[in-house]
Amino acid sequence: MTYQDFVKKHNGKYVDVDNYPKDWPYQCFDLAQLYAREVINVPDYVFANCKVVKNLIYDPVERAQMDEYFDEVSTIGMQQGDVCIWGNGDAGHIAIFDHYNPQDNNCYYFSQNPNPCQIMVINLPDHHAFRRKQEKKEELAEPVARDEY
């Protein structure tokens, strides 16, 4: 599934992956975890049980798991589909970068909470962008010379 397919599938809907918390289970983290499963194929343990999103940046164990699958990139060089984490506030925030609009000078993200999944502007401090590491390509074997007869 592509990022665009993911947006079409979930736009305007609430998603819940972990049924937490019981009083409002539709958190930003649920959308990110679903994106990791459906689009970028990152193992569940990378995001599993992360109730405080900013721990993905600041907790050494959770950060090591992020670093295993993601490279942190400059926020200026973000590409559509990059996972973005904000470390501000009590819990932080997580969303998926969609695009930058030079006319209004805003970045737009696919996000959830408090609204259903949608593309929205998020202006929060302490922003970190992560891009999934490129898949390693198998090295091609050297061509074998063949005698011409």
- pLDDT, residue 101, reads 95
Give the C-alpha separation, 56 to 31, whole Å. 15
pTM: 0.86
Buried b (16+ CB within 10 A) or exposed e, 115-143: eebeeeebeeeebbbbbbeeeeeeeeeee
Angle CA 55–71–56, to nearest 5:
5
pLDDT tens for the chain, 149 residues long, are 999 999 999 999 999 988 877 778 898 999 999 999 999 999 888 887 666 899 999 999 999 989 999 999 998 889 999 999 999 989 999 999 999 999 999 999 999 988 999 999 998 889 999 998 766 545 444 444 445 44
Structural contact between residues 55 and 89, judged by C-beta atoms closer than 8 angstroms? no
Question: Are the C-beta atoms of residues 17 and 30 closer than 8 Å to each other?
Answer: yes
pLDDT at 75: 87
Q: Are 132 and 42 contacting, i.e. CB atoms less than 8 angstroms apart? A: yes
